[in-house]
Chain A
Amino acid sequence: MTITLRMAWRNLWRHKRRTWLTVGAMIFSNLILVFSISLQLGSYQMMIDNSLKSYTGHMQIQREGYNEEPKMRSSIDAIISLAGRVRDQLGNESVAARGVAFAMTSSEERSYGLQIIGVEPEYEPKVSTLPGLITRGGYFTGLNTEEIIIGAVLARNLRVGIGDELTLLGSGHDGSFAAGIAIVTGIFESGIAEIDRSMAQLPIGYFQDLFGMEGRGHNIVINAADLSEVESAKQSVSSVLKDRDELVVLDWELLQPGLKQAIQADFTSAWFMYGVLIVLVAFSVLNTQLMSVLERTREFGVMMALGVKPARLGSLVITETAVMSGLGLAIGALLGIVMTWYLSIVGFSYPGMEDMAERFNLPDRMYPSLSILSIMLGPSVVFVFSLLASIYPAIRLFFLQPVTAMRAV
């Protein structure tokens, strides 16, 4: 150990309590930062995943061009058997075919224009949370039954309940007139007014009859086990589509551009909080080091009188801060890792989270995800800001006159 390092270390312990208070503040902030950032980065994944699993899916097979301009005629032939082949290829049940159309939907009293989705009753619950959000009635009883599921807001608007009949009027695949009836068998509450107001589902067999689809549909929704496996699943799906040139596989970033940014922007307030925490630590360091420099005025004066230059004394002060911050970093990050690691295994929930989870058919626990980034980001910023905070006390030494400093008590 060099003399400077030895001096720095011993100087810190001249005021044990003061040093521990400052180091304690660092430990506390680092602990909080490691945990929160890990949780936050973990929740990005979770929120993206949840958002996709509610309806869009991790990826979709579509006819090329459908995503840009969703036309009735941009459809996929023999969609149900294709969905079956994809399911076999992936060894994964979370694959479901859908058709999309528009229809004027009327009860005895009122009419509304709706988006009508034809779904596979057996597989749709595996790619979407919507079927799980049915609060009255139930899901479809068959592939071809004349049944319809609508949102709670729409049910109120149409003044219908379970067992009531709705009339659907729209245009079919070939542009011809399409008309039919369906019995309301389920009412869902997604909590998203737009969906609860303007979306309805039919079993895909009946949907195809009604709209003259002749076995066609518009997309096949596919979920991978989790977000990180989307890419490999996409490769695997592409191999099933080798002989279907007109079809493409689109992943979620293409299907929902902006989702990632929207979710990350949601955390701006968290970043602001971290900023406040870091500034508080920096001020505590500034205060500590300013006091420690002031009370050593005479000592520094003697050293300067002997010919030690201010730069050297300044670097002593910064070394002291670095040692202190290093302690705070090591202990804080370590405790943060232990705590976060534990919670990443057992999960973490906040009051009210379970209610929300139940209402929106979402997971009821969050799992922070530890990574080098989530461990090091917070503590290293704290470290850097602590060092920055000690620059001012260090710079003050350049204005010290040895003679005046030595006259100080």
Chain B
Amino acid sequence: MSSIVCKDLCKTFQQGEEIITGLDHVSIEIEAGDFVCLSGPSGSGKTTLLNAMGGLDTPDSGQIQVGDTRVDQLGKGPLADMRLHKIGFVFQAYNLIPVLTARENVEFVMQVRGEPAQERSHRSHDILKEVGLEGMEDRRPAQLSGGQQQRVAVARAIVSQPALVLADEPTANLDSVTATQLMDLFVELNQHHNITFVIATHDTRVMAYAKRLIKMRDGKIISDEKQQHPSTVVS
């Protein structure tokens, strides 16, 4: 069963006089439970593709299906609902609401989802422990390191057990050790919770973890290969 199917996606941006190609007839299928890296130089269309899959931005043409949902056919409201309930997002940086503590950041999105208070406090506690932030629940983002902030973002993304996590350059602001730890966490979540991961990156350390590595350039997919021996969690 395919988790994500994209057919013939095109997207252009206009910047002043110039027309910029974001996606140029991109078609891919990603299976449930896969761990995929979108790689390529900056400007190659990784973010644009990820945003299209996540229903953050609509392509000019083409079809996108995530699970049973035709994402390209949804309106604004249903798209927001889909993002809220079905997909976990991790962005490059400054992911968190600065005035809320780690725990409140996780709980806020749960509250928006309409989850009961008891459940929220219970699960936020557990999930922060799982991502290795026990004892730091009450710190605000400014009191956490970049790696810890990304862990909070991951905790927030997976707390309601989405089938799919989309991460856009999650390690871009992290040092090598922290980046490796974050990737280990992703792999672990992929294995234990069977969450599909699609990670856009141009970080070779990250690519090493991918089961499937898709390379992009100028809005096109230029290579797509399964990796036989991706790095795995050393535990």
Do they bind each other?
yes
Residues of A within 8 A of B (CB): 2-3, 6-7, 10-11, 14, 298-299, 302-309, 312, 401-403, 406
Q: B81-111: which have CB < 8 Å to A?
A: 81-85, 87, 89, 91, 94-95, 97-100, 104, 107-109, 111
- Asked whether, in the complex, the Cβ of B56 is within 8 Å of the Cβ of A306, the reply is no
Q: How far is the CA of A303 from the CA of B95 in the complex (A)?
A: 9
Contact, CB under 8 Å: B100 / A312: no
**A299-B98 contact, Cβ under 8 Å, with A307-B80, A312-B112:** yes
**Is B51 close to A, CB under 8 A?**
yes
What's the least CB distance linking A395 to chain B, in Å?
Answer: 15
- Say yes or no: is B184 at the interface (Cβ < 8 Å to chain A): no
Measured in the bound complex, the distance between the Cα atoms of B76 and A228 in whole Å is 62
B99 touches A307 (CB 8 A): no
A11, A307, A402: the one contacting B112 at CB < 8 Å is: A307
Please name all residues of chain B whose beta carbon is closer than 8 Å to the beta carbon of A299 when the two chains form the complex: 94, 97-98
Contacts A299-B98, A309-B77 hold; do A402 and B107 have CB atoms under 8 A apart?
Answer: no
- Give complex CA distance A298, B95 in Å: 9
Q: How far is the CA of A406 from the CA of B87 in the complex (A)?
A: 18
- Is B57's beta carbon under 8 Å from chain A? yes
Known pairs A6-B100, A307-B109, A308-B84. 19 more at Cβ < 8 A?
Answer: A6-B104, A10-B99, A10-B100, A11-B99, A298-B94, A302-B95, A305-B56, A306-B84, A306-B156, A307-B81, A307-B87, A307-B112, A308-B80, A308-B109, A309-B77, A402-B56, A403-B51, A403-B56, A406-B91
Q: Tell whether, in the assembled complex, residue B83 and residue A3 are in contact, meaning their CB atoms are under 8 Å apart.
A: no
Chain B facing A: main interface SS: helix
Q: Which residues of B contact A7 (CB under 8 A)?
A: 97, 99-100, 108
Chain A residue nearest to B79 in the complex (CB) = A307
Total A-B Cβ pairs within 8 A? 60
Min distance, Cβ B169 to any Cβ of chain A, angstroms: 12
Task: Please give, as numbers and ranges, the residues of chain A lying within 8 Å of B54 by CB-CB distance.
Answer: 305
| A306: chain B residues within 8 A (beta carbon) | 83-84, 89, 109, 112, 156
A-B contact pairs, 12 of them (CB 8 A): A7-B99, A7-B100, A10-B99, A11-B99, A299-B97, A302-B91, A304-B80, A306-B84, A306-B89, A307-B82, A307-B84, A308-B84
Give the docked Cα–Cα distance between A10 and B100 (Å): 8
Name A302's closest neighbour in chain B (CB-CB). B95
**A contact residues around B109 at 8 Å (CB):** 306-308
With most chain B CB atoms within 10 A of its CB, the pick from A3, A7, A302, A309 is A3
Q: Is the CB of B99 within 8 A of A305?
A: no
Residues of B within 8 A of A14 (CB): 98-99
- Sort chain B's interface into a size bin: 20 to 34
Give which listed residue, A3, A298, A304, A406, contacts B100 with CB less than 8 A.
A3
Cβ contacts under 8 Å, A308 to chain B? 80, 84, 109, 112
Q: B84–A3 contact, CB under 8 A?
A: no
List of B residues within 8 angstroms of A307 by Cβ:
80-85, 87, 109, 112
With the chains together, A2 CA to B112 CA distance in Å? 12
> Given the complex, which residues of B lie within 8 Å of A11, measured CB to CB?
99
A290 to chain B, nearest CB (A): 19
Contact A305 B83 (CB under 8 A): yes
Complex Cα–Cα for A269 and B94 (A): 52
Residues of the A chain whose Cβ atoms lie less than 8 Å from the Cβ of B112 = 306-308, 312
User: With the chains together, A191 CA to B83 CA distance in Å?
Assistant: 79
Known: A3-B108, A7-B99. A309 touches B80 (CB 8 A): yes
- CA of A406 to CA of B104 in the docked complex: distance in angstroms? 21
Contact with A along B63-75 (1 / 0, CB 8 A): 0000000000000
Q: How far is the CB of B80 from chain A (nearest CB, A)?
A: 5
Could you say which residues of chain B place their CB within 8 Å of the CB of A403?
51, 56-57
- Per the bound structure, the CA–CA distance linking A298 and B97 in Å amounts to 10
Contact of B111 among A3, A10, A303, A406 (CB under 8 A): A3
Residues of B within 8 A of A10 (CB): 99-100
User: From B111, which residue of chain A is reached at the shortest CB distance?
Assistant: A3
Q: Which residues of B145-191 have CB atoms within 8 Å of chain A's CB atoms?
A: 156
On chain A, the residues within 8 Å of B107 by CB distance are 3
Q: How far is the CA of A10 from the CA of B101 in the complex (A)?
A: 11
Within B103-131, the residues touching A (CB, 8 Å) are 104, 107-109, 111-112
B182 to chain A, nearest CB (A): 18
- Residue pair A303, B91 in contact (C-beta under 8 Å): no
* Minimum Cβ distance to chain B for residue A7 (Å): 6
Complex contacts, B108 vs chain A, CB 8 Å: 3, 7
Task: List, in ascending order, chain B residues with CB within 8 A of A309's CB.
Answer: 77, 80
- Within the complex, the shortest CB–CB distance from B50 to chain A, in Å, comes to 11
CB distance from B219 to the nearest CB of A (A): 16
| Identity of the chain B residue whose Cβ is nearest the Cβ of A8 in the assembled complex | B99
User: CB-nearest residue of chain B relative to A407?
Assistant: B47
Q: Which residue of B lies closest to A409 (CB)?
A: B94
How far, in Å, is A402 (CB) from chain B's closest CB? 5
**A14 → B minimal CB distance (Å):** 7
How many angstroms from the CA of A219 to the CA of B80 in the assembled complex? 81
Residues of A close to B56: CB separation below 8 A: 305, 402-403
Closest residue of chain B to A10 (Cβ to Cβ) is: B99
**How would residues 52 to 65 of chain B score, 1 for a CB under 8 Å from any chain A CB and 0 otherwise?**
00101100000000
